[in-house]
Structure 1
């Protein structure tokens, strides 16, 4: 199989030339355009998530030999979560080479965080199946490199931190509620409110509910800590 010009250029951006080009084509093929003769990237995504996890766990252990499991776990979660995968995908222009069905393309699929994150995991699996674990790990370290060293020592999810703050004060868990939605269907903006049992509340807006919740939790936790 011969790769198209855009996929050949993409190989150059990621620093890996595929011996089995069909794997790269599968990695960038979304389920919206798959067919009996064209495999999509869902199975690769499942495998890539595991390859990324092992690569990142090894990298974090090597980067901080004195860190405990409790310190490593939140750093690991911050580096492998879907948002981070999507950030890396944007940096290498993965969205530009995705093969999407018409409806997904019309709804802005090339920019969707979940779709980009899934495709990034599929790409890692494709490299793994093409050239083995060492090549896949090298890809992960190459693309994630600066992030591994820059991840915060305490990289807990803001929602987790806010819940722990509330529990330490005998409060029930924070309550999250969608407070609004704006923008076009292909690029919505969600506004989420988080409220504590003491009545304190904060709002935040983002392109996904999950990110909006995290932003609201971070803002509320910061306010609570400053006031304590």
Structure 2
């Protein structure tokens, strides 16, 4: 099959010329436009997440040969979580080539963190299936770049960091409460409030509850740390 000019340009951005271009097309096809004759990227996302995990585990072991498992685990989590995948996806502009249904397009799907992160994992799987693990690893290490060396030793996702902060002060784990919901039914925006037993609170909004909770946790953590 012949790729569109946009996908050809994208393949150059990730540095891989596909022998099986249908893999690239599938990797950027969201379930909102899938059909019996058009596969979406969900299965590729599942595989890409595992390939990314192995590459990052290997890279971290090589980067710091003296680190313990307890030190490596949070660094690993910081590098493979959806937020990190979405950041890389933005740098290579996956959003510009995503194949989305009308409702997702209208609700800003090309900028949604979850969709970008999922697509990044699917692209990794497409390269892996097209050319093997070594080629996929080279691409991942190049795209993640200095993130691997500079990831903080105490990296935690915000919810974990806030819970540890609370427990360290004898407080109950934080609560996350949905305090509002805006937007249409097909593209809701959730407003979440993070609450500590001390009475401190912070709110954040996002297109998914998980992302909103993480954002609220970060806001509250920044607040209590002063």
Please say if residues 166 and 173 of structure 1, whose CA atoms lie closer than 8 Å, have aligned partners that are also in contact. yes
* Displacement of 1:198: 2.5
Residue number in structure 1 paired with 2:140: 140
Aligned to 1:67: 67
Query: Is contact 1:107–1:185 with CA below 8 Å preserved after alignment?
Result: no
Q: Match for residue 175 of structure 1?
A: 175
CA 1:203–1:9 in 2, change beyond 3 Å: closer, same or farther? same
State yes or no: 1:77 paired with 2:84: no
Tell me if structure 2 keeps the 8 A contact 1:108–1:186. no
Paired with 2:101 and 2:216, the residues of 1 have a C-alpha distance of 34
**Corresponding residue for residue 32 of structure 1:** 32
Q: Secondary structure at the match of 2:193?
A: strand
Larger mean CA deviation between 51-60 and 108-117 belongs to: 108-117
Deviation of residue 207 (structure 1)? 5.5
5+ residue gaps, structure 2? none
Equivalent pair of 1:83/1:117 in contact (CA under 8 Å): yes
For the Cα contact (< 8 Å) 2:103–2:186, is it kept in 1?
no
Deviates more, 1:92-101 or 1:120-129: 92-101
**CA shift digits 1:181-225 (9 cap, x unpaired):** 456778865443222223222334455543443343334334545
Task: Give the match for residue 13 of structure 1.
Answer: 13
For residues 108 and 43 of structure 1, what CA distance do their matches in structure 2 show?
23
Per-residue deviation at 1:179? 3.1
Aligned partner of 2:166 in structure 1 is 166
Instruction: Give the direction of change, closer, same or farther, for the CA distance of 1:7–1:172 in structure 2 (3 Å limit).
Output: same
Gaps of 5+ in 1: none
| Cα deviation digits, residues 77-111 of structure 1 (max 9, x gap) | 11111111111111111111111222222222212
> Aligned partners of 1:133, 1:65: CA distance in 2, in Å?
23
Aligned to 1:51: 51
Instruction: Write out the 4+ residue segments of structure 1 that deviate beyond 6 Å after TM superposition.
Output: 183-188
Contact residue 158 and residue 215 of structure 2 kept, 8 A: yes
Name the CA shift for 1:4/1:63 in 2 (closer, same or farther; >3 Å): same
